[in-house]
Structure 1
């Protein structure tokens, strides 16, 4: 049994710890489920709610990157964000995939990277280096917004926690 002195002090000490934010009882991390990838997607927040922004792959090709042509073909793709404004900067994962929709390489692109030519200022372009460019059958976007990822409970027990975007896909993941 515990001495009476410990029992008398324990409840107030627990209340002080809980009120000070030192308690991990209220901090939980969850990860959003990855949405279905497509050439054109409605960008969604961590709760799966549409943000009113559409992201689309406008085109892609295999060609040497102009700055490193000796590395051979890379995936050069163009993308477009419709509905984003200067105050938001939604971002989605773009993945080169094979015929089975298996990822060969991915990277995150954001609407702030879309500053295309004057005739289409909502477009941007990026390069993806993949190990076997001859296997690329397309470029898909994953609809989950990657622009905001709050701190985790592990990193910040007091202010962390909540819903986080899904982990970015790894090479070999099927979309």
Structure 2
């Protein structure tokens, strides 16, 4: 058996392991925010669904070949704008971010990607406007470009990556082709 000295120190060792995150009793919990309602103009919201005071809007879009790869055919070229309602323009490394999706007439995603407010560095008269391109398999099906309001700028560590960080809220996954918006 174990000497009395080892048995006496065992409870202390269990407490140290529990406090260090090496125990399943730590209670690490990851949560994923519910995807917000897609729209041409959205109020950007944090992972709890609260507005950040930032509006993102698709200003216009059109189908055209990308100037660097015209041989690949038409892509969706869209312009977007961020408005900051009295809040700091940079909340995170690249500022607030939303997913932009080309959709068909039924609002089914044909292609999506994340756009950051830091990409909006338009002309001096409208510095918060930017543009980007979406590649879709069938550009002729595109009926519009929608934004998802969930802020995508922060992805904290998950419980699986580091149980000691206690997990936390995460934005929803970027929509995939075929998702109904």
- TM-score w.r.t. the length of structure 2 is 0.89
Equivalent pair of 1:150/1:160 in contact (CA under 8 Å): no
Residue 67 of structure 1, CA deviation? 0.6
Match of 1:99 in 2: 105
Q: Does 1:87 align with 2:79?
A: no
Q: How far has the Cα of 1:11 moved from its partner?
A: 3.9
Q: Cα offset for 1:169?
A: 0.5
Aligned to 2:164, the other structure's residue is in SS state: coil
Paired positions, count: 174
1:118 aligns with: 124
Normalised by the length of structure 1, the TM-score is 0.92
- Using the alignment, how far apart are the partners of 2:166 and 2:98 within structure 1? 23
Deviates more, 1:59-68 or 1:13-22: 13-22
- CA RMSD for the aligned pairs? 2.0
CA–CA separation in structure 2 for the residues paired with 1:100 and 1:87 = 34
Structure 2 counterpart of 1:154, from 143, 154, 160:
160
Secondary structure (helix, strand or coil) at the match of 1:33 reads coil
Q: 1 CA distance for matches of 2:117 and 2:96?
A: 6
Q: CA deviation at 1:12?
A: 3.3
Deviations 1:51-105 (A, max 9, x none): 0000000000000001111100000000000006443200000000000000000
SS at 2:165's partner residue?
coil
Q: Deviations over 1:127-150 (max 9, x none)?
A: 000000000000000000000011
The answer on 1:71 being equivalent to 2:72 is: yes
Q: Secondary structure at the match of 1:12?
A: helix
Residue 57 of structure 1 aligns to a residue whose secondary structure is: strand
- In structure 1, C-alpha distance between the alignment counterparts of 2:137 and 2:166, rounded to whole Å: 37
Name stretches of at least 5 consecutive residues in structure 1 with no aligned partner: none
Structure 1 partner of 2:14: 14
Matches within 5 A, 1:32-71: 32-71=33-72
CA distance in 2, matches of 1:73, 1:160: 45
